Amino acid sequence: MANPTGWKPSMEKESGSGGTAGDVGAGGATRGLAYEEPLVFEHAASERVGASLPAVTGKVDPAKEIPAALLRGEIEGMPSLAELDVVRHFTRLSTWNHGIDTGFYPLGSCTMKYNPKSSEAAARLPGFAAAHPLLPDEMCQGSLELMFKLERALSEISGFAATTISPAAGAHGELTGVMMIRAYHLARGNARKKVLIPDTAHGTNPATAALNGYRTVEVKSGPDGRLHPEAVKAAMDEEVAAIMITNPNTLGVFESDIAAIAEIVHAKGGLVYGDGANLNALLGVARPGDMGFDVMQFNLHKTFATPHGGGGPGSGPVAVKASLVPFLPLPLVVQEGPAYRLVTDPKERPQSIGRLREFHGNMGMFVRAWALIRELGPEGLRRCAELAVLNANYVRARLRDVYHLPYETDSLHEVVFTDKLQKGADISTMDVAKRLIDHGFHPPTVYFPLVVSGALMIEPTETEAKETLDAFVAGMRAIAEQARSDPDGLHAAPQKPVRARLDEVRAARKPVLRWTPGMKVE
């Protein structure tokens, strides 16, 4: 493509952007105007109006017909703003955010990959986006067909008999999976009492087990970062309902003994739960259902590029082996001849754990995931995993001489470093993370997994180009050099965002959650 401006990547650095040495990040970290923005309450001006309402022309004044008990009184200090004030306020606040559309987001374990805009467009098609969830089956055959085919695709990709797509998020999917495990054991007369959880498992696993009434038992990993069969065998007995394993684990290490571990658990009557948060590393290469797992939750945002978190709608489908199919939650989509039907009556599925939530799941997420699966196909899905692993190992190879690598075991989709090499200069993981902001990058996951002291957990994903990774590596290496030459500068980072380093301890212990008139904001 032609470059009509004549701009070259080196020009910004040569022109003198005011950044410090090594600031080769996302451009916006080194130059530009960032507006300060006060609280919306501090904009208050009593004469401004942001809406026009028609005058009451009938005999009935709606304001007078509302019961007094339902009317709210005047709110002291309530801002009165014009439309322009509101638009500028929220637009300026939006520029303070860092998102995947503005820069690299190397959060380990959270898998912050790019969401294709083609999938966004498909999710906005009126036939999907505007369909009411209470439509009768005959009026939403397109939606039901998509739900059915997504369920079949996820089951095939993961190697399981069936999948429920109704859970609203990964943690909700975890809850669903362990609920089915409990129902399975109850159907055999004993719910059992314990769940085994490796120290390298995903952080939500203990809470999921506890919510289902189980006591958690931690199983230590070995010096290679893997779970060893002898450790599982020592902890396994007839009171254990399941073991919850993240594979690859939170170190980015593949649990190569998973088949032997599954055999040990199954021999004592337990089940093997797979946390699918890191399925991105296996996509199209290996299937968890073929490894001995009985149940596994997906995180569609981590693997199939639907929007991630933020309090909005998510999706955490759960796949199961044949022995757990009777316990799947409702509703379920079934195909009957050329038509599709939503099963909602518990009488048809008497062993089901029941309905998990209102309606059928988050349709927008289903459309996005199905669009991506159809776009990529089997070879494209496999290529996702191959590139995710390649990118993580590229970062590992480029940084291992300046950051401590706690495990020499091969990495898959993510790599964990520590701050051990910077400790001599009194530099911590937090200093590295904060300084990275000045280089234009979101910090990686810090201080997790807990088995690694001072962890820096980096997952590039397959959607990042080599040029982005090179810029990130350059920033990380510049920080390692600054730790030796200017440690005080790192303690003071970040310097370039609208807000410098916050007092996080104070924010956690004394949060200010509500504005009140006369409040002085610091």
Closest by Cα among 109, 99, 254 to 170? 109
Confidence grade of residue 521 (pLDDT, cut at 50, 70, 90): low
* DSSP H helices in 116-228: 117-123, 126-129, 141-158, 170-187, 205-211
Provide the phi-psi class of 118: left if phi over 0, else alpha when psi is between -120 and 50, else beta.
alpha
- CATH code, 383-509: 3.90.1150.10
pLDDT digit string, tens, across residues 49-94:
778 877 777 777 776 788 888 888 877 777 888 889 899 999 999 8
Model confidence at 522, pLDDT cuts 50, 70, 90, reads low
More confident residue, 95 or 292: 292
| Residue-wise pLDDT tens digits, 194-251 | 999 999 998 889 999 999 999 999 999 999 999 999 999 999 999 999 999 999 999 9
Amino acid occupying residue 226: R
Distance from C-alpha of 428 to C-alpha of 417, rounded to nearest angstrom: 12
Q: Which backbone phi and psi does 185 adopt, to 5 degrees? A: -70, -35
pLDDT digits (tens, 9 = 90+) for 353-411: 999 988 889 999 999 999 999 999 999 999 999 999 999 999 999 999 999 999 999 99
Q: Which residue has the higher pLDDT, 20 or 167?
A: 167
Q: In terms of Cα–Cα distance, which of 394, 389, 369 is closest to 461? A: 389
The span from the CA of 209 to the CA of 499, in Å, is 39
**C-beta separation of 197 from 219 below 8 A:** yes
Higher pLDDT, 318 or 6: 318
**Distance between CA atoms of residues 483 and 426, nearest Å:** 8
CATH no. for 119-373 = 3.40.640.10
How far apart are the C-alpha atoms of 191 and 212, rounded to whole Å? 10
Which string of DSSP letters, residue by residue, matches 51-119?
A: ---PPP-SS--HHHHS-GGG-----TT-----HHHHHHHHHHHHTT---TTTS---BTTT------HHH
Tell me: pLDDT of 339 over 90.
Answer: yes
Query: What contacts 154, CB < 8 A, 6 or more positions away?
Result: 163, 165, 298, 317, 319
The Cα 179–Cα 403 span in angstroms is 42
Cβ atoms of 421 and 480 closer than 8 Å: yes
Q: Tell whether the model's pLDDT for residue 265 goes beyond 70.
A: yes
Separation between Cα atoms, residue 221 and residue 199, nearest integer Å: 6
- Closest by CA position to 279, among listed 313, 254, 314: 254
Least confident of 160-174, 263-277, 295-309: 295-309
All structural domains of the chain with their residue ranges: 119-373, 383-509
Gyration radius from the chain CA atoms:
26
How far is residue 138's CA from residue 338's CA, in Å, rounded to a whole number? 12
In percent, the amount of the chain with pLDDT more than 70 equals: 92
> CA distances (Å), 511 to each of 77, 514, 515, 518, 521, in order?
21, 9, 11, 17, 12
Non-local CB neighbours of 440 within 8 Å, separated by 6+ positions: 23, 25, 26, 27, 28, 29, 30, 103, 471, 475
C-alpha 302: how far from its chain's center?
6
CB distance 113 to 462 below 8 Å? yes
Tens digit of each residue's pLDDT (9 = 90 or more) over 288-301: 999 999 999 999 99
Q: Give the Cα separation of 522 and 519 in Å (integer).
A: 9
